[in-house]
Structure 1
Amino acid sequence: MKASAPKPKWSDVSAMCSTTKSYWAQWDSLLIQDGVLWRKWENGQGDRCHLQMVVPKVKVPDVLQLYHSGCSGGHLGVKRTLLKIRERFYWVHCRDDVEDWCRKHTSCAVVKGPQICSRGALKMYNVGAPWERIAIDVAGPFSESESCNKYFMVVMYYFTKWPEVFTIPNQETSTVADKLVHEVFCRFGVPLEIRSDQGRNFEFQIFQETCRVMDNHKTRTTTTHNLME
């Protein structure tokens, strides 16, 4: 190219490495200015073209350090780092090198943290017989119905995973306790244990008194635990 020679024949480069073959395939897009090899790059629409400096392999780490880890880099991700580099530079397997650099860079890994959020160990919650334990929760508010109800009270039987859903106008303690007694306890009996979240409607005196009078044991889950799992 320096001697303005024509493009080499395939037979001249067929035995060479993949990098050489890649540059050979882009021969018409390459040019030399002031002793520097450049590559003409067009955007996808073909309405903009600019020059990218072809980076020698030995200088690739310097570019990666500058555009990802340097003062102007900011430890960006693969996509944004690649976009910044391609504005000025080009080399074969650029994307692979950027991905490898971002993955292995220690400072970047420390800032971003682990890919998988740690979770507490799951524990089995065994139920030995029907109606031994139930879960209760209230969802809402929703749009008010014709019957002036805005909430759903959900009761789940742990042994069979059978759910029952009741509409209620509010989530006051007296409302929840009344619905639970008349719609659940009177139909199926009193379970040995009830589990609920830590909502205020399950903690006040009326609901606790209902549990005491009917001789059943009340427990609580943690705030973020899903009762219906």
Structure 2
Amino acid sequence: MSSTTKSYWAQWDSLLIQDGVLCRKWENGRGDRCHLQMVVPKAKVPDVLQLYHSGCSGGHLGVKRTLLKIRERFYWVHCRDDIEDWCRKCTSCAAVKGSQIRSRGALKLYNVGAPWERIAIEVAGPFPETESGNQYFMVVMDYFTKWPEVFAIPNQEASTVADKLVHEVFCRFGVPLEIHSDQGRNFESQIFQETCRVVGTQNTNNFLPPTI
């Protein structure tokens, strides 16, 4: 299922219907205050953002203050990301702030629903060569269980990485839906991409889905 469906399913005990409206029980960080938020349908999200950021009562506040205002009454999955995107694209805010250098995005959380649905892969090295001729470590970790697998390899060529993945990971645990890796040449190579295509998995190549 989609990450949105998984998120609502994980929060099932916090959802309820009040006066025919889907709501979510929200507790503050200190745990001393709880209130209901209306769950906003996707089609109505722009209306809420327009009202609370760009409207007369919004005042073109920053992401943090806009998020605090919206959370007092509303909730939807990826709320923070939508607010950040709306504020970033606001022409009035851009005119006041002027040009800025884009920084790297923060790390995101990603929902997975089963073991080996999504795995991460990284190659570390070179290290001092062993008697077997290995100089690198290939680390594979499952997002759901956090189970790590580490393999010694002689080099970080795409063919070496693909061969180790197929024989040591896919044959033992099955083919994952997604493989998350950095944008190294070995992971961007035609050999590695073709291997992913043949076995039916997707290489996200440094793509991180949005947080909740």
Instruction: Work out which of the two has the higher radius of gyration on C-alpha atoms and give 1 or 2.
Output: 1
- TM-score, structure 2 as length reference: 0.46
